[in-house]
Structure 1
Amino acid sequence: MILNRTLAALAFGALAVLGNSQAASAPISAAALKPQDLTLEQLYRAKPYRGVDAKGMDFSHDGRYLAYLWNPFGEAGTDLYIHDSLTGQTRRITSLAVMQAYDAPEDVARFRRKAEQREREYAQTQARMQDQAAYLAGAKVDLGAWEREALEQAKREFLDKKARDEAQKRLEAERLGDEPKKEADKTDADKARDKDKSADKELWEWRDELKKKLARDKLKPTDTYPGVEAVQWANKAPELIFQYRGDLFRVQAASGAIERLTQTDRPERIVAYTPDDSGYVFMDETRVLRAVFAQGGVTQLSRELIHADDAERKYRIERSVLTEDQRFIALIARAPLSVGDKIPAPPPPKVRQVEIMNYGERFATAKKVDREVSDDKRLQQPLALFIRKVGAANAAQPEPVFSHPGGDVWFEMSALSWAKDGSRYTFATWEREKQRLRIYVGLADEAAVPELVLERKGEGKTGHEVVNVIAPRFTPDGKTMIAVLDDEGYRQPYVIDTAARTARALLKGEFEAHGLIGFTPDSRHVLLAANRDDPAAMNLYRVDLSNGAMQALGRAGDYHRQPRASDDGRKLAAVAGNWAQRPELKLIDAASPQPATRTLTDSHDKAWAQVDLLRPERFSFRNRHGDLVQGYVFKPPGWRASDRRPAIVYLYGGPLNDRHTVEVDSFQSTAYLFGMYMAARHGFVTVAFDPRGQSNYGRRFSAANWEQPGQAQTEDLQDLVKHLGQGWGVDTQRLGLTGWSFGGFQTQYTMYTDPDLFAAGAAGAGPTEWENYNSWYSGRTLGKTERSKTTLKRFSLLPMAKGLRKPLLLVHGMQDPNVLYQDTVNVYRALLESGKEGLVELFLDPDGEHGLDGAVNRKALHKRYERFFLQHLGRVGGRP
């Protein structure tokens, strides 16, 4: 019976196929389910519908070949594929079957066994979910059959192991000439061991054995076949080197023939081919090395870097960057912290640790995780930049050309970039306490100190999200330097005049364009990603460096991610798509007057079409301050503007580098999937909304949080409610609000400070005490901090909780290492102490982390959301 239900669950995934969207918020295909028949068990299937996106795209030097890492739906790992743009053919280079020649037989057997286990668990989980739903609907379902089958399996494995152990024991006894102990001679300890190994156990004992088996068999990331990690093309030859499980392999593009280059216990990373392609440069944990194909042996290009004041305090090489001609290498290294005048320096004090409780055993246990909060003294290690001639490993160690003492500061350094001719390099630094951004240019000289060529200092001079994307670099001719700044409020490329120490904006307009991809060989154009034409999409553009003119290269309306350009700038690759056409790897011919696109992958389960019932409709409006805010809405079948339907609003609301909620390729679990479900099944109007505070809308949005987290977002929610009351078929007295992480904080903030705006709220894993959150985020995005004081307590939600007046559901994973579970416990206590026991509910995952997925999976979470909002917002007339 269990097998039949498991096969039925597999069949649902295999047979539920077809269709794509034609209109917003309307049924997509006649082959799809009827909207009112959609279930959460179908939508949040145990085996996700989404496959793995291609990654690691890289063009050969001549642009003919594109290498990428990917696998079809359902296959483990990411294998190497090479597409030949001349013939239009794609060759798969690696697979489990191919790479088993280089793996231990035990590893290959484990990969296959664990892949089968994963598929079996998907099917069993799906069948259990369907059985549980049928039982709750009143069907006669034997839910105990699942446990009985699992117990029988545990018994079989137990007895098999017992038989093997006893056979081994007899062989050992015969070899040693020992006689087995007679029953009368056995001690109490012997008898206890025998009883523990006996098959004569009570049911509760077998349940304990099953628990041990499940823990023992739990899938780990290293259990399944990983595939290829990275690739590096030769400079001219049509070949590449790839990394697989810490070793390096060489591949000829034309034939696909593989040659193993290394086989060691130390993980190696490919850096580059030698300039003439006769060998390659690679790294292990501490060294940069060079090997020649036709010769034996390895040359070490960089030896250990010794601290000038203490020979025992050796620098650890963190990054290395070679010039294209490999005459010079930049080494970014860190040294241990020193304490006083003690030599050698003692190890630095450990960072703060917090305990996270595990309730899975008989008695609770705790594990400790590192936690650096805003009032902690920083322990940043000293940093040094060395410029070294390649091949001078035995020469005297030069002094660093740039250094920072580290200590109790926030200091960040960007990636270092060499000019194409290897004569100069550039990098940027950010000092959080001083609010100082600097760009430097240095010469290929072991002793020359880099020159400061641009500085932005003072609060408000630089947005906090520029730091991650500034990426200074030279054009191929070395005459122009480009860096991303936000002087005009949006992250865009600027031309840096290194002599005058000024920056000129290359573009004009209110949009983000921080994704620099490359340049054309003639240095006349820069290639970049920007959301100029649609804030919910990201297209690829060729920009004229002389006047800023932009030519779109990708398809309008697609979100392009992980873009990569060929060296000649004539081809681009990116994972691109939208709600109607799910993201796939696209090859773009940018040389044509009308750039053409070819799709190279087919990543996702076709069964998605059966549950892809509605398509959202985009909207925008001006808030009270004149800012254009974005959203999308699912309208249920039969919707009319005059309706008065219940509605649910989803938001995140906080800064997140380059992400926001309203993106045309995002099928976010609650905003999109649950929104579609509640519209289709229950007739709700559901909204996803990006208020001020979100990223990728410019500095005015991302900085709206500063010194007032939650306030700007709540103002925009107030304006949204007014907007929804104007012809959107919504009863504004029956609005629900939900969000996760920062969105969980924002849901609570709004429910506490404007208690009648929403009729109910569901807050997931929200940080309620910002003084206890990770300082890398809070000190950059919330407000000023002090090392010795918990100043971020001024933003705590605990004193605000007394303002709650409508029902609130708090959700959290009890083993969350990101937003600590205590944040929800403490605000729950504050709510109880302020007499809100009739309004607040808790929904906890004892084994869940920040995204849950312990005892509570995605289906279970949204089942709870469904019940909560139906209970407190009511149903649409005539619906069950």
Structure 2
Amino acid sequence: MKSKQFIHFLSIIPLLTGSFLTMTTAQANDNELGLTVERIYADPSLDGPELRKVKLSPDGKRVTFLKGKVEEQERLDLWEYNLADGESRLLVDSNDLSPGEEQLSDEEKARRERMRLFAKGIIDYYWGDDSQTLLFPLAGDIFVYDLSKDPKKATKQLTNTEAYETDIKLSPDGRFVSFIRDQDIFKVEIATGKETQLTFDGEGAIKNGMAEFVAQEEMGRLTGYWWSPDSKKIAYLQVDESPVNIEKRYEINAEDFTVFEQRYPSTGTDNVLIKLGVLNLETGKTQWMDTGNETDIYIPRVKWLADSSKVSYQWQSRDQQKLELRFADIKSGKAETILTESSDTWINLTKDLHFMKNQDAFIWTSERSGFRHLYLYDLKGNLIRQLTNGDWVIDKVYGVDEESGVVYFDANKESPLQQDLYAVSLNKVDEPKKITEKDGVHEVSFAKNMQIFVDYFSSVSQPKQVSLRNADGSLITWLEENTLNKNHPYYRYYQKASKPEFGTIKAEDGQEMYYRLYKPVPFDSSKQYPVIVDVYGGPHAQRVRNQWGARNTYWHHLMASKGFIIFSLDNRGSWNRGKKFEDPIYKKLGDVEVKDQVAGVEFLKSLPYVDEDKIGMFGWSYGGYMTIMSMFKEPDIFKVGVSVAPVTDWYLYDTHYTERYLGHPESNAKGYEASNVFPYLNGLKGDLMIMHGMADDNVLFTNSTKLFKALQDANKPFDMMNYPGSKHSIWGQKTRTHVFNTITKYFEENLK
């Protein structure tokens, strides 16, 4: 297994010195739209004013948010909107506290990559329950802002160390700030600045309160510790990485390279050992919770019960076909299983567990019907009632207003292209009531009292808007209306841009698949045009929605203005359509997904304005994998492909993701072989460009170098463009500009 995963740096030097695609920065051809890749990635942002991390104070009197500087959109400052005077004002300028470029620790760099967070300055913040205290990290230290003080004296620095403090949290009572430093948990008292170390054995392979690699990358869990509601205890996970293979990972920069010895749990190999403990802050002692005799498990979620007497955790089997919700008594550590979910394929994780404060009950979501729906249980695990049902999907539970007996959630009840806020009764069987009105995608954030919420909304004709609304959906005020008028930075381009068309086609099993199509501008129905299929195609993603797609939208508009049709199809296996739609990919990847994309092309061929001899494909990550598989398996259909950061060998990817869909390599060796790209490479006929970040710690650069060598050995010509120092997202203004100029030029030269 180990020999299949990593290639020594010296063995790839020939690839790096002689095989790059030679080019200068591609200049956009004249087009009626007037848009260029350079403008897409320049400041000010074409998105218009963007508010990030919008949060409501606990008392509902203020709305705070992060906002980029006009001259540097990715450097964020802390702002507030005060409901009393209706004014927005800057609270903290990040340049005042940390001028210049922030030096991140390796741990923080990796953590931000997992979060797909590329901003600088103040990247997050937290409200204290007193509605006067704001906490935020900056440049590796911790700061507190006190709204009751003079603005010039309101900011207080709590830590000032060489070490990098991460994963900071406020205690529920607002007295303490906790954080991780050097693999241990610490707290500091806000009033006095007194710092206390809480765990002491974090070193080497032992990490306290930290999320392991697969938890961060695949489970959506970026923390490993949780305050109890009464602020007297902290539940935390202790991770022992010693069973995980140590692999050498090379991060190749422009002028040098770094060798990282990383514990990477590639599929089929050992995971971390994990324990759940509860630390009593008065005694300093940890009581370990019973997690069973089986150690080859996952603990994807931990959450306290409302009265702080028990802590819940979700126990997941290695094959991810069983998920148990367990409650552990914090005094004895004894745990009991409250409910169990099982599947013949896999169980999707959520963050939807919600414990009631005024009754012994909790909200749970389950896909047992084939679609994710709401269920109400008592604390013994007895089902009280199912709250929602139907052939539609709940995406997220936002909270419960116990006084009104209402649960708020978002769902695609009206159409898979939409996402709306709904409310449903806790106390009786009733139809959900739709709260949001505009057609498109709504994502919301409620105040603690569930009386008001922030609504993030966008559609294909409206960049993201942010409004403050009452629980019934009525408007209180716009925080950022972002109207697409003459003053908007994208207005002059949008007036001439292609507008998307949506529709459905049938998969071979009869299920409907949604597509989006951009026609060239100007469009002549008597002509035939080349097509770029922009694909992702993998699980837990939905590309086709009535939503503003930011920079993807702009590039689609640009390519349409250059005479290309841009087509996207959500094939079976993708997200937000229910388990029947997802499950066909189980035990064999790159099979039904490619068949469905071919079905999409067959639909395109039925259109008189499509040149069926000029079909190309572009994709990133799983989409990069899909591009290669489509080019290899269907070379007579897909003539040109650009694949960015592709998986090529599933043995190189991690346990939690890969085994979820392919199972363990020992039990599904044929499935792994059929899912890798190498058995099909002799099919390549067209023009293929492969691009990869040379410091990618998610889809390792080895995926591409292994394919480079295989294609060379097979005497198959191809092109490559690799990016020194870049990780999976290949981020950075100059870098992204080069990436998309390269992609644009490749399609212009080879597909037209």
Pick aligned residue for 1:549 from 408, 420, 431: 431
Query: Does the CA-based 8 Å contact 1:760-1:873 persist in structure 2?
Result: yes
1:411 corresponds to which of 283, 298, 312: 298
CA separation in 2, counterparts of 1:404 and 1:742?
Answer: 35
Number of aligned residues: 685
What are the equivalent positions in structure 2 for 1:162-311 lying under 5 Å apart? 226-227=121-122, 229-234=124-129, 237-245=130-138, 246-252=141-147, 258=154, 260=156, 262-265=158-161, 267=165, 271-272=169-170, 275=173, 279-280=175-176, 282-283=178-179, 285=181, 286-287=184-185, 289=187, 291=189, 293=191, 296=192, 298=194, 303-304=198-199
Give the structure 2 partner of residue 625 of structure 1: 509
**What is the Cα-based RMSD across aligned positions, in Å?**
4.0
Q: Which has the higher strand share?
A: 2
Choose from 653, 658, 661 the match for 2:543: 661
Whether the aligned pair in 2 keeps the contact of 1:647 and 1:685 (CA below 8 Å) is yes
**Aligned residue number for residue 621 of structure 2:** 741
If the length of structure 2 is used for normalisation, what is the TM-score?
A: 0.80
SS at match of 1:607: coil
Is the CA contact 2:532–2:618 (under 8 Å) kept in the aligned structure 1? yes
Counterpart check, 1:842 vs 2:716: no
Return the letter of the residue paired with 2:229: E
**Alpha-carbon distance in 1 for matches of 2:617, 2:709:** 22
CA positional deviation for 1:392? 4.1
Shift of 1:94: 1.2
- In the alignment, which residue of structure 1 is the partner of 2:478? 598
Q: Which residue of 1 aligns with 2:492?
A: 610
- Alpha carbons of structure 1 residues 475 and 399: separation in structure 2 relative to 1, 3 Å: closer
Q: Partner of 2:335 in structure 1?
A: 450
Deviations 1:571-604 (A, max 9, x none): 1114332332222432122246x45662347699
Quick check: 2:267–2:658 contact (8 Å CA) kept in 1? no
Change (3 A) 1:668 1:821: farther
Mapped partners of 2:195, 2:341: distance in 1: 42
Q: Could you tell me which amino acid in structure 2 is paired with residue 820 of structure 1? A: L
* CA deviation vs aligned residue, 1:199-242 (integer Å, no higher than 9, x gap): xxxxxxxxxxxxxxxxxxxxxx99997236312232xx441232
Residue in 2 aligned with 1:726? 606
Matching of residue 704 in structure 1 with residue 598 in structure 2? no
1:85-107 deviations in Å (ceiling 9; x for gaps): 3432233211147xx4xx5xxx5
Structure number with greater Rg is 1
Closer/same/farther in 2, CA of residues 815 and 618 from structure 1, 3 Å limit: same
Distance of aligned partners of 1:254 and 1:588 in 2 relative to their CA distance in 1, 3 Å threshold: farther
- State the secondary structure of the residue aligned to 2:657: helix
Corresponding residue SS for 1:71: strand
Residue type of the partner of 2:134? I
| Cα distance, 1:653 vs structure 2 | 0.7
Aligned to 1:208: none
* Aligned equivalent of 2:58, options 39, 43, 61: 61
Match of 2:6 in 1: none
> Residue type matched to 1:626 in 2?
G
Write the deviation string for residues 656-712 of structure 1: whole angstroms up to 9, x where unpaired.
x3x32223435365x53333222212x222112221222233223333322121111
Distance in 2 separating the partners of 1:222 and 1:573: 21
1:354 to 243, 248, 254: 248
Deviates more, 1:482-491 or 1:636-645: 636-645
Name the counterpart of 2:325.
439
Indicate if the aligned counterparts of 2:67 and 2:79 stay in contact, CA closer than 8 A.
yes
Q: Could you say which residue in structure 1 is the equivalent of 2:237?
A: 333
Q: For the structure 1 residues 497 and 84, does the alpha-carbon distance in structure 2 shift closer, same or farther, using more than 3 Å as the test?
A: same
Alpha-carbon distance, 1:439 to partner: 0.6
Structure 1 residues 822, 281: closer, same or farther in 2, change over 3 A? closer
240-249 or 499-508, which deviates more: 499-508
Q: Per the alignment, do residues 500 and 675 of structure 1 end up closer, same or farther by CA in structure 2, a change over 3 Å counting?
A: closer
Query: Which residue matches 1:372?
Result: 264
Match of 2:312? 426
Aligned-pair distance for 1:494?
2.3
User: What is the one-letter code of the residue matched to 1:321?
Assistant: W
Distance 1:457 1:263, change over 3 A: closer
SS of 1:676's equivalent in the other structure is helix
| Distance change in 2, residues 1:558/1:780 (3 Å) | same
Counterpart Cα distance in 1 of 2:745 and 2:341: 52
Cα deviation per residue 1:17-64 (whole Å; 9 max; x = unaligned)? Answer: xxxxxxxxxxxxxxxx96265444444547753478434333233322
Q: 1:856 to 1:768 in 2, by over 3 A?
A: farther
Aligned to 1:714: 594
**Superposition pairs for residues 510-549 of structure 1, below 5 Å?**
510-522=391-403, 524-545=405-426, 546-549=428-431
- Assess if the C-alpha contact under 8 Å between 2:464 and 2:482 holds in 1: no
- CA distance in 2 between counterparts of 1:745 and 1:222 reads 23
Question: Secondary structure at 1:416's aligned position in 2?
Answer: strand
CA distance 1:664–1:369, shift in 2 (3 Å): farther
1:692-841 equivalences under 5 Å are 692-727=572-607, 729-786=609-666, 792-837=672-717, 840-841=718-719
C-alpha displacement at 1:424, in angstroms? 4.7
The offset of 1:360, in angstroms, is 3.5
Contact 1:631 1:688 in 2 (8 A): yes
2:81 to 77, 80, 83: 83
How many angstroms does 1:80 deviate by? 2.4
Is contact 1:42–1:611 with CA below 8 Å preserved after alignment?
no
How far the C-alpha of 1:651 sits from its partner, in A, is 0.4
Q: Mark the CA change 1:865 to 1:305 in structure 2 (over 3 Å): closer, same or farther.
A: closer
Shift of the 91–555 alpha-carbon distance from structure 1 to 2, 3 Å rule, reads farther
Q: Residue deviations 1:758-778, cap 9 Å, x none?
A: 233222222111111233322
- Code of the residue aligned with 2:635 in structure 1: it is P
In the alignment, the residues of structure 1 paired with residue 393 and residue 547 of structure 2 have an alpha-carbon distance, to the nearest angstrom, of: 17
2:282 to 383, 391, 399: 391
Equivalent pair of 1:401/1:446 in contact (CA under 8 Å): no
Instruction: Give the superposition deviation at 1:652.
Output: 0.7
2:70 is equivalent to residue 73 of structure 1: yes
CA 1:789/1:366 → structure 2, altered by over 3 Å: closer, same or farther? farther
Whether 1:491 and 2:375 are equivalent positions in the alignment is no
After superposition, give the CA deviation of every residue in 1:398-438 in whole Å (9 maximum; x if it has no partner): 6423346786x24123031322x445543322122363200
Instruction: Provide the residue aligned with 1:676 in structure 2.
Output: 557
- How many Å separate the matches in 1 of 2:286 and 2:741? 64
Q: Sort the Cα spacing of 1:471 and 1:628 in 2 relative to 1 into closer, same or farther, 3 A.
A: same
- Asked whether the equivalents of residues 587 and 671 of structure 2 are also in contact (C-alpha less than 8 Å), the reply is no
Task: Look up the SS of the partner of 2:601 in the other structure.
Answer: helix
Give the match's secondary structure for 1:701: helix
- Contact 1:54–1:585 (Cα < 8 Å) also in 2: yes
TM-score, normalised to structure 1's length? 0.69
Paired-residue identity, %: 18
CA distance in 2, matches of 1:814, 1:470: 33
The 1:728/1:780 distance shift into structure 2, 3 A limit, reads: farther
Take 1:287 and 1:831, find their aligned partners in 2: how far apart are those partners?
49
Q: 2: CA distance between counterparts of 1:222 and 1:437?
A: 29
Q: 1:241 to 1:47 in 2, by over 3 A?
A: closer
User: Contact (CA 8 Å) 2:690, 2:719: kept in 1 or not?
Assistant: yes
- Tell me the CA shift for residue 742 of structure 1: 1.2
Which segments of 5 or more consecutive residues in structure 1 lack a partner in the other structure? 1-32, 115-220, 338-347, 875-880
Tell me how far apart the structure 2 counterparts of residues 684 and 513 of structure 1 sit (CA, whole Å): 36
Residue 324 (structure 1) aligns with: 229
- Once the two structures are TM-superposed, the CA of residue 481 in structure 1 deviates from its matched residue by 0.9
**Residue type at the aligned position of 1:750:** S
- Looking at structure 1, the residues matched to 149 and 433 of structure 2 have their Cα atoms a distance apart, in angstroms, of 34
Contact 1:247 1:262 in 2 (8 A): yes
